[in-house]
Amino acid sequence: MKILFVCMGNICRSPTAEGVVRARLLEAVRKHGSEMDIELDSAGTHSYHVGHQPDRRAMEAASRRGVDLSPIRARLVEERDFSEFDLILAMDRDNLIHLEEACPPEYRDRLKLYMEFAGNSAFDEVPDPYYGGLNGFERVLDLVEEAADGLIRHVLRQKQSSAA
């Protein structure tokens, strides 16, 4: 399974989701003792920061929770992403709309809001922390972690049903 996380510039929310889910997947692999063939990536709908590391504030907040975002580099969503990724998860509705406009019709069922995996969350979007204070990056992490667990459960169910 291949999962792509998408926000506007690919320096705050989507790399945070990529890093948190990667860390949680490693925990799940250790816990369940089986390999999971899952590829994760993140991208932006706008090219403002292509090639840059995640925002320093995002990296610092993630690091305090044991998640390393430093290997991630911003990139733009590409046309081939729609056919290559099984799930393309937008952080908010604005980015979902950008994805829907660019996505060929046969792949639209792969597009979802990331927070759909959070279950009973009061939030359906991950807010952009870029112009806010440091608390915004902590809030992003809270939400990303909340949805990460639901996403991993979804991936495990998919794996079990395909093995059956």
Which residues lie closer than 8 Å to 146 by C-beta, 6 or more apart? 115, 118, 119, 121
- Set 7, 55, 75, 81: catalytic member: 7
**CA pair distance 73, 55, nearest whole angstrom:** 10
- Set 12, 13, 57, 110: catalytic member: 13
State yes or no: is 37 an active-site residue.
no
Positive/negative CA dihedral, 119, 124, 129, 132: negative
State yes or no: is 128 an active-site residue.
yes
State yes or no: is 7 an active-site residue.
yes
- Set 41, 81, 92, 128: catalytic member: 128
Nearest to 87 by CA among 8, 21, 9, 10: 21
Please provide the distance, in angstroms rounded to a whole number, between the alpha carbons at the two ends of the chain. 16
What amino acid positions are annotated as catalytic residues?
Answer: 7, 13, 128
